[in-house]
Amino acid sequence: MLSVALMNEPGAFAHVATALQEAGLSFEAVMGDTRAEVGVTRLSVSDPEKGYEVLEEAGHPVQVIEGVKLATGGDPGTFGEALQALGRANVNIEMVFGVAPTPSEGEVIFLVDDPETAKKVIDGL
């Protein structure tokens, strides 16, 4: 996984996505958060090492971080069991995000400063 620091401004994440796309990389999962002026985006891409090189060359502060994947297989108990096991092992969960097994089942939720305009833009795609 990659961790990328971005300015909290329109188009910043688009620059990252475009650079990765032009390098032939695909997104497997994404999670982003902002703190005032700066945001941090965590990405799982098809080739993290290549993604690191691409983003570093594009001038983005980027780090490779290790993520641990859990395949739930649709079993409603798997996630809870994993959380319990991690707790018993004294493992602290700092962040968690989910992805669907196929694009048609997935959802991305955007939090924006102008939801009305964002909805119009998305609806126009």
Q: What is the pLDDT of residue 2?
A: 93
d(CA 84, CA 81): 5
Q: Does domain 2-123 have CATH number 3.30.2130.10?
A: yes
The residues spanned by each domain of the chain are 2-123
Tell me the whole-structure pTM to 2 decimals. Answer: 0.71
Q: By CB neighbour count within 10 A (0-12 exposed, 13-18 middle, 19+ buried), where does 55 fall?
A: buried
Q: What is the pLDDT of residue 104?
A: 43
Lowest mean pLDDT among 2-6, 33-37, 69-73, 107-111: 107-111
Q: What is the pLDDT of residue 34?
A: 81
Tell me the pLDDT of the chain averaged across its residues: 79
pLDDT tens by residue, 113-125: 665 777 787 666 5
pLDDT tens by residue, 63-95: 998 776 766 666 667 767 777 777 777 777 777
Angle between helices 12-22 and 48-57 (to 10 degrees): 120
Instruction: Say if residue 28's pLDDT is above 60.
Output: yes
- How distant, in Å, are the alpha carbons of 64, 74, 75, 77 from that of 3? 6, 28, 29, 29
